[in-house]
Chain A
Amino acid sequence: MSTTCLFYLPLCLWLFIAFALLALTQFNHRRACGMTDLPPSRTRLIRLMAGVMLLFALVISIAHESSGFGFLLWVGLLSLCACAVALLLGWYPRLLAPLARLMAKPST
């Protein structure tokens, strides 16, 4: 149980944030959070950062588990965490508003 709390849950959160960052670079989802669009350079930077976060999660999974388990875990959690972001944006988009604001902060 402690391993679950110390590794899998933070990993889920990490992937969730990465997907939330990706989603919140899209205008439709930003609007749903009550935010305006991001400048193109910021969008590119955030998407790159989210991509690196996703890849880093793969590295961490493989390092923590074996290569086989780590890869399968990463693939499975990618789907679930992306789904969680989509459902949250569908039902309670305002919950992601703080993150959306944070993404725009330095330029506003």
Chain B
Amino acid sequence: MEPDFRRAMGWLHTWAGVLLGSVLFAIFWMGTLSVFDIEIDQWMKPATRLPPAAQTLALERFRPSLNEAIAARAAFWNVEPPNDRQSVASVHYRTKTGFVSHDIDPVSGRTLPDAGTLGASGFIFPFHYSLHLRIMNLGTWLVGLASMAMLVLCVSGVIIHRKIFAEFFTFRPSKKPRRLLLDLHNLSGVLGLPFHIMLTFSGLVILGATFFPASINALYPNPRGYFYEANGLSFLNVKPGQPGAPVVSLDETFARAQAVWGNGSPETVLVATPGTTTGRIAFFRDRTQQVVMDRDVVAFSSTTGELVSHPPAPRAIIRTQRFLSGLHLIHFHHWVLRWLYFMLGLGSCLLIASGFLFWQASRRTKQANTFGFRLVEGLSAGSITGIMLATLAFFISNRLLPPGAHAFGMGRAALEIGCFYLVWVGAFLHGWLRPRRVWIEQSAAISAFSALAAMLNWITTGDHPLHSLANRYLWPVAGMDMLLLVGSALAFLTARKLARKQPGKAVGKTV
């Protein structure tokens, strides 16, 4: 290969990584945690830790919540029955004043007390694809830019790797830190390459309508038309009706949906514009036993119970898109694959972190006191160990804040998020103010925060790891606590090793 070309790719790889590494790490970190979003939700909402019900709750038991939605003139109301990842049901509806969400006891049908948290599915998962920057959709565009950069980094990384096959299995823990970091970067990059490319590309495909709207704009009068057609939601394309109309029996309508499907159970039941003359009841068939996220939706009129639509099977191109969406969103229930995704996601985080650290280790001798180096050093600390600390602060605040907490004009859920950002900003500042000790101190803080989070779960709920392990329905909580404790131990060992090697000296040389 031409040396100039390889050098150019090396330059591209270095600077694309340095500039967007922080965003990429945030995306991959939050994406990795999102693999277990429902399980983290259970940890953060102790009231939802319930054994699964022996019998399925009839849909009509959710009628009081539906009536509330009708009274509030909700745009939609939906219920998600319990499944093998989540033993409680949940109802959601959107009114003019906001989004309402309740968890429902699967046995009694009573509404569980509000946990006062967004949990992982309300905060961590949206952060993964929007960075919670909603102004002008900035976060989603930034995620798109970083994803494109990730693909460029993968390709340029392969090009600049001089011995990709000769060093395919090379990992030399006894070598000097700089070489070790490069080995780690190469190993996590090359061996995880299929995962990095597959997940990054499928992520871009999922948000393709945002990034590449030209074809949709050319074919549809507005993007909503595309959205309805592509997702089998054409039944929503109706004019607003008059209020005051009844909603037919949900259970009887469901029996008719089952007759259409032949068999199957719903993963979501949606009532669009409930209580109006053009209202619709739609049943989304459970598709958790396959990768492809093809929506099989049967829709009925909510006032007459008449069948409105049952779209045909999607064409090959849409099916391909849904395969890619499915493999990214892990909509399916497959525990081995879920854990594989989690471990490979951590591998992606390791890839980005080792790239950052290698950049610093290569320049520390000559540029340690330059502004640019100090800037990247603080940036990398804040974006690697900092976001871990912030996430742990989010968990700790969840266990420490009392129910109904309110301060600075913010509710409990907002306070948790406030803690996240406060600790994250603090970690960046710490990185810039104490560059020599930042990795040691933040690793030690991660260790302490992780152990504290697990401990607080025990103190506030009584569910210590042994108790959680002994009860099958508490395994998600046990898994979370175990990972926190293992993370705590690993962070402690890292901090100790860093501190022992060269106390008082810059850490990049000692990693």
Contacts from A to B (Cβ < 8 Å): 4, 8, 19, 22-23, 26, 28-29, 66, 68-69, 72-73, 75-80, 82-83, 85-87, 89-91
Contact = CB atoms under 8 A, between A and B. Distances in A.
B332 A69 contact: yes
B192 A86 contact: no
A4 B339 CA distance: 13
18 contacts: A22-B169, A26-B166, A28-B170, A29-B169, A66-B290, A68-B326, A72-B327, A73-B336, A76-B337, A79-B191, A79-B194, A79-B344, A80-B340, A82-B168, A83-B188, A83-B347, A86-B168, A86-B187
B501 interface: no
Please indicate which of the listed interface residues A8, A76, A78, A87 has the most CB atoms of chain B within 10 Å of its own CB. Answer: A76
Given A76-B341, A76-B344, A79-B344, A26 B291 contact: no
Please indicate which of the listed interface residues B170, B191, B198, B341 has the most CB atoms of chain A within 10 Å of its own CB. Answer: B191
B323 A68 contact: yes
Please indicate which of the listed interface residues B188, B323, B337 has the most CB atoms of chain A within 10 Å of its own CB. Answer: B337
Given A68-B290, A78-B194, A86-B191, A73 B169 contact: no
B292 interface: yes
Contacts of A68: 290-292, 323, 326-327
Contacts of A85: 169
Contacts of A66: 290-291
Interface string B283-298: 0000000111000000
B334 interface: yes
Contacts of B332: 69
Nearest to A3: B336
A46 to B, nearest CB: 14
A78 B169 CA distance: 13
Contact of A90 (B172, B198, B292, B344): B172
Contacts of A86: 168-171, 187, 191
B contacts with A: majority SS: helix
B230 interface: no
Contacts of B341: 76
B195 interface: yes
Contacts of A29: 169
B336 A83 contact: no
B171 A73 contact: no
Contacts of A79: 191-192, 194-195, 344, 347
B422 interface: no
Given A28-B166, A69-B291, A75-B198, 12 more contacts: A19-B169, A22-B168, A66-B291, A68-B290, A69-B334, A73-B337, A73-B340, A82-B169, A83-B347, A87-B171, A89-B169, A90-B172
A29 B172 CA distance: 11
Contact of B169 (A26, A72, A75): A26
Given A72-B291, A86-B170, A89-B169, A8 B336 contact: yes
B246 interface: no
B173 interface: yes
Task: Enumerate the 5 nearest inter-chain pairs by beta-carbon distance, A residue then B residue, closest first.
Answer: A68-B291, A90-B171, A76-B340, A23-B169, A86-B169
A43 B314 CA distance: 48
A24 to B, nearest CB: 9
A44 to B, nearest CB: 14
A81 to B, nearest CB: 9
Contacts of B170: 28, 86, 90
Nearest to A8: B336
B414 to A, nearest CB: 37
A66 B323 CA distance: 13
B343 interface: yes
A53 to B, nearest CB: 16
A80 B336 contact: no
Contacts of A4: 336
Nearest to B165: A26
A28 B169 CA distance: 10
A50 to B, nearest CB: 12
A82 B343 CA distance: 14
Interface string B342-380: 011001000000000000000000000000000000000
Please indicate which of the listed interface residues A26, A77, A90, A91 has the most CB atoms of chain B within 10 Å of its own CB. Answer: A90
Nearest to A4: B336
Contact of A89 (B166, B171, B188, B323): B171
